[in-house]
Structure 1
Amino acid sequence: MDHTKRQPRKVGWRFAFMAVILAVAVSGLVRSLWLDVYFIPSASMEPVLVGGDRILVSRTGFRTEPIRRGDIVVFDGRGTFAPLNSGNGPLVDTAAAVTQWLGLTGSDTTYVKRVIGLPGDSVACCDAGGNVTVNGEPLAEPYIFSGDAPSTQKFSAVVPDGRLWLMGDHRSLSADSRSLLGAPGGGMVPVDRVIGRPVQIIWPLDRFASVPRPPAGPTTENGQ
């Protein structure tokens, strides 16, 4: 009698276990092909994205329309922004990967920045008005954190083919292409390392909002 009573319970647990496995598999497929979740660990992209935000990232956001100047991108910074290392051991690395996958912590190799220079652009700082220039023209940057200068660090570079010059919106707190000119890749990230485009802040709920994309067209103050 006891044996027969336990059978339905065993079947129920097996069904629940299989349902969980299927849900994880489907979630993994969706996140690897279409939409992923990332945790914002710092204030470098304020005011649009703040530390603690969880964002939805479209992995297909740049397939129909190319990356344009002013876009916010999530990218794999290994070999450019992130130092190459052997990790912290299998257990620590696995635990970190799980919390990153759940959107609870940030990644040491995944970054969020704004595209300032496209392949072939000449980027420099600063002109007489204190503006970052692209191809000799001052860049219109309404997204910069209030009170920040476009840059207090001087730089001048030509963006190679297939790469991007990236900067944070909170310029005084952002380590970005400006800081890595002498590093491998010159601080410029390969286009094929772009993971996707942030499209929605999903947490915390009081910040639930879409992430704006700049309009197509001129982005310099002189309309070029």
Structure 2
Amino acid sequence: MSESGSEDDEPTLTERATPADEPAKAGKPPKKKRPFWVELPILIVIAFGLTFLIQTFIAKVYYVPSGSMEQTLHGTTSGGDRILANKVVYDFGDPQPGDVIVFSGPPTWAPEARIPGPSNWFGQVVQSLGSVVGIAPPNEKDYVKRVIATGGQTVMCCDSTGNVVVNGHSLDEPYIYEPIEFIPGQLDCTTTQMSRRCFGPITVPDGQLWVMGDHRSDSADSSYQCQGLPAGSGAQCQGPIPVDNVIGKAVFIVMPPSRWGTISSPDLDAGW
């Protein structure tokens, strides 16, 4: 007879208890998976929250309300482009001539689009949510224009060929659409019958920008209210905007899909 505690009394490998044989720990029942109809609202809230943060600090989608930037950007009469404005790029430098920017118009600027607000609380909620993803009508005081001159530069129109001039340099602007008529010697900036393109010269104050729409005959921009009037007439242009009013640089057309593409920003003062 073997002694107590001998190796014959040791359980074999197959006899030893396995984790599967051990009872489940008390107080920790298996987790139940939430049904999809419960998870869906949570996912929607998270998605809207992330979208809000991205559009507040990094980039935002804007609706183009008017035709002032045709053909570069289509306004509501041509479908209404949605554009992506980079809000970070100007944290590392100021806007440059040629950039297409989104900005808040000064209080004295005339709105280019009359946009009636919602008449009830439900409409206001829908508009607020829609503005987060760029599908709601835009703020009537937000504008999209191209930078033509920066602080310290002198801008005027026009030279003998009808081009805008900055610091004595004639600008090459291939993006201009349907410019106002200009006929040297007949309808220009030196004759009695002055072209409506003519304005200035005007020196842009430091910390400000002279901006114009690509559709020069249909843009309430910096030159608005003084075009077609000789220098010294006393006419006051709508004028430049503060750099601090700039929201971001327009970099991409995101809607409609047929219009997907980058927004060009030629270097207008290259080689000066």
What TM-score do the two structures reach when normalised by structure 2?
0.67
Contact 2:83 2:255 in 1 (8 A): yes
1:33 alignment partner, one of 50, 57, 60: 57
Contact 1:81 1:180 in 2 (8 A): no
Does structure 1 residue 115 correspond to structure 2 residue 139? no
1:24 to 1:96, Cα distance in 2 relative to 1, 3 A: closer
1:20 to 1:131, Cα distance in 2 relative to 1, 3 A: same
After the TM superposition, which of the residue ranges 39-48 and 127-136 deviates more from structure 2?
127-136
Runs of 5+ consecutive residues of structure 2 not aligned to the other structure: 1-31, 183-194, 227-234
Task: State the partner residue of 1:203.
Answer: 255
Contact 2:164 2:170 in 1 (8 A): yes
Q: For each residue in 1:167-198, what CA deviation from the matched residue of structure 2 results, as whole angstroms up to 9, or x when unmatched?
A: 00011111111115667x94211101101111
What count of residue pairs does the alignment treat as equivalent?
209
1-side partners of 2:167 and 2:249: how far apart? 25
Does structure 1 residue 179 correspond to structure 2 residue 179? no
Runs of 5+ consecutive residues of structure 1 not aligned to the other structure: 1-7
1:80 Cα deviation from its structure 2 partner? 4.3
Task: State the partner residue of 2:163.
Answer: 131
Structure with the bigger RCO (C-alpha within 8 Å, sep 6+) is 1
User: How much is the aligned-residue C-alpha RMSD, in angstroms?
Assistant: 2.9
1:45 Cα deviation from its structure 2 partner? 0.6
1:17 Cα deviation from its structure 2 partner? 2.0
1:106 to 1:26, Cα distance in 2 relative to 1, 3 A: same
Task: State the partner residue of 1:56.
Answer: 84
Contact 2:97 2:269 in 1 (8 A): no
1-side partners of 2:90 and 2:268: how far apart? 13
Q: What letter matches 1:129 in structure 2?
A: T
2:109 alignment partner, one of 76, 81, 103: 81
Contact 2:178 2:217 in 1 (8 A): no
1:149 to 1:190, Cα distance in 2 relative to 1, 3 A: farther
Report which of the two structures shows the higher radius of gyration computed on alpha carbons: 2
1:107 to 1:209, Cα distance in 2 relative to 1, 3 A: same
1:90 to 1:186, Cα distance in 2 relative to 1, 3 A: farther
Task: State the partner residue of 1:170.
Answer: 215
Task: State the partner residue of 1:158.
Answer: 203
More helix by share: 1
After the TM superposition, which of the residue ranges 91-100 and 163-172 deviates more from structure 2?
91-100
1:189 to 1:16, Cα distance in 2 relative to 1, 3 A: same
1:74 to 1:106, Cα distance in 2 relative to 1, 3 A: same
Q: Secondary structure at the match of 2:224?
A: helix
Identity of aligned residues (%): 38
After the TM superposition, which of the residue ranges 72-81 and 164-173 deviates more from structure 2?
72-81
Task: State the partner residue of 1:18.
Answer: 42
2-side partners of 1:188 and 1:48: how far apart? 21
1:73 to 1:149, Cα distance in 2 relative to 1, 3 A: farther
